[in-house]
Amino acid sequence: IASIIKIESDFNSRARSSVGARGLMQIMPSTGRDLAKQLKINWIGSSMLYDPAINIMLGTYYFKTLLIRYKGNTKKALTAYNWGPGRMAYLNRRGIVPKRYFTKVLRLYKKHEKTI
């Protein structure tokens, strides 16, 4: 999760992407709303995504659901986290697996894993 946060926002809790993803784990407001509903968190608006505790809770839960969806395949789950499950399905149908994002996250993870 720390590697995802580093790649997504460089640990900037106020980060906002050009497409509107917000916070540490760069969650889109519509995704945040849906995740909050699943976790029974009272959604009071997309500004909640700037709260580090909420953002990490939602982002971690989201990544966990993707790991389950892709049967523990971390590379696919990371790709879906970055591209979204809809676009991931489209890419899979065409036999395309973008490698840049998951490679960056896993490389960072392995670098830090050695220091622990």
Catalytic residue ranges = 8
Q: Residue 100 burial by CB count (10 A; 0-12/13-18/19+): exposed, middle or buried?
A: exposed
Indicate the residue type of 33: R
Task: Map residue 93 onto helix, strand or coil.
Answer: helix
